Amino acid sequence: MQLTKTSKAWDEIASRQRSLGPRQRAVLLLANGERTLAELDTLMGGSVRALVLELQANGYLTPTATAATPPEEPPGAEASDQFRHGTSAAAARMYLFDMAERLFARAQPETGARLRAMLREASNVAQMVEVARLIVGHIRAASGPERADGVYRRLATMLPPGAMETAVDAA
């Protein structure tokens, strides 16, 4: 059985209000309409059947045939590298919170907490971009340039055009 996100799942992913736990959100992110339950189980390290059933029962996942259709991808784009909901400072902030949590919560909890606090205090896009640059710098140091460049590229697709360059010019 192949699973994909419903519109309720897309809303959950885009929302700053997290009503699901990290494993549930990870399953939502991985459910792309092409992956089977067995593949999700492998990617998540096993024991996701109960999570998938719960997400289905709560209206977040559905078998591929009846799924809500996400926005079309640009020609030639790889699905895993494209942000599918246009530009959104809120989505960029959520992505940064997720990166700070995933990459620093266990290995460098003080750094992760400090970066998340800085994100919470950023009151406009320019301030958020400055915090994003700090996060990318920490990612570069902890995980290498490839990972940092990937986060930077994805973030640039989420922000309004020119936001990353404008923040550099303002500094």
Q: Note down pLDDT in tens along the chain; length 171 residues.
A: 788 888 888 888 887 777 888 888 888 888 888 888 888 888 888 788 888 888 889 898 888 764 444 545 444 444 444 445 567 788 888 888 888 888 887 888 898 889 889 999 988 888 888 988 898 898 898 888 898 888 888 888 888 777 777 544 444
pTM to 2 decimals? 0.48
pLDDT of residue 32: 85
User: Given 3-state DSSP classes, what are the helix, strand and coil percentages for the chain, each rounded to the nearest 5?
Assistant: 65, 5, 30
**Residue of 68, 69, 58, 1 lying closest to 24 (CA atoms):** 58
